[in-house]
Structure 1
Amino acid sequence: MSRAEDVEALIIAAHRLTRVAALETNSQTPAAQWRTLAILRDNGPQRIGELARLSRVTQPGMTRLIGTMTELGLVERRDEPGDSRAVQIVATERGVAAYAQWRAHLVDAMLPRFEGLSAEEWAVIRQAAALLNDRIAPATAAPATSDIENGETE
């Protein structure tokens, strides 16, 4: 396999893992809500336009989502320091807790699929996860979007 094919296989496997995990939880919560909470947790307060870009939804869609999430107490709007016209979205304690609970629910749903792995296989999973986090985490808030970020990977 070429490096390009390896990266493609990794993307497809990650997409499949994410999709199956979401399906196995039987949650009706939009994936964009969890992505938005993750973005806010990882990157701090954001304007709606930037949240829309990072979460891969339209700005009107993000505005609607933030409205719902505000009603649920998951996020709040705050005036941006230094710009009275701008508003930043901030995850609340309730939002951060809900996101943590969602992640635990995903793990509980998926753990049975990994039963029977050897210690060596678990080490490979740990190493792959660490490598992915090291390579991808800094790109989350990058100013330019790539073709992959614009694609439907969730």
Structure 2
Amino acid sequence: MTHDQDIETLIVAAHTLTRLAALETANETPSAQWRTLTILRDHGPLRIGELARLSRVTQPGMTRLVGQMVDQGLLTRATDAADSRATVVEVTPLGVEALHTWLLHLTSALAPHFDDLTEAEWDALRTTAQVLTRNLDRAATTAEVAR
């Protein structure tokens, strides 16, 4: 198997895991909401346009989603101090708690699918997750600097 094939296998497995998680949890909250909370948790307050770009949705779509999430108390909106025409969005403590609760629910729903792993396989998964996190964080930082 080539390195490109290994990367493809990881991508397909991640997509499958995401779909399985949605089915197992029967969570009706749009995945865009969880993605938005995660992005804001990881990046801090962002303008709606930047949040839309990072989430890969249109700005009007993100504006609608943000409005719904503000109504739910998950996010706050404020005028950007650097440009009063722009809006900055920030996750609230309720939003952080909702994300944390969802991640716990997600983990417990998927755990049975990993019951048969050996310690060596757990070590391999842990190492893979660490490598992916490190390299993807570095790629994201490089992409942000290039903008």
* Superposition TM-score tier, normalisation by shorter sequence: over 0.9
Q: Distance in 1 between matches of 2:3 and 2:44?
A: 34
Contact residue 54 and residue 140 of structure 1 kept, 8 A: no
Structure 2 residue runs of 5 or longer lacking an equivalent are none
CA 103–140 in structure 1, closer or farther in 2 if over 3 Å, else same: farther
TM-score (norm 2): 0.93
Q: 1:77: how far off?
A: 0.4
Cα distance in 2, alignment partners of residues 6 and 116 from structure 1: 22
* 3-state SS, counterpart of residue 90 of structure 1: strand
Which position in structure 1 is the counterpart of 2:4? Answer: 4
Q: Pick closer, same or farther for the CA change 1:138–1:92 going to 2, 3 Å.
A: farther
- What TM-score do you get using the length of structure 1 for normalisation? 0.89
Using the aligned pairs only, state the percent identity. 53
1:58 aligns with 2:81: no
Unaligned runs of 5+ in 1: 145-154
Q: In the TM superposition, what is the alpha-carbon distance from 1:140 to its structure 2 partner?
A: 4.0
Q: Which residue does 1:25 correspond to in 2?
A: 25
**Secondary structure of the corresponding residue to residue 45 of structure 2:** coil
Does 2:127 match 1:127?
yes
Residues 86-110 of structure 1, C-alpha deviation per residue, up to 9 Å, x if partnerless? 2100000000110111111110100
The structure showing larger relative contact order (alpha-carbon pairs under 8 Å, at least 6 residues apart) is 1
* Number of aligned residues: 144
Query: Structure 1 stretch 110-119 or stretch 130-139: which is displaced more?
Result: 130-139
Residues in 2 aligned to 1:54 and 1:105: alpha-carbon distance in whole angstroms? 25
2:89 counterpart of 1:117: no
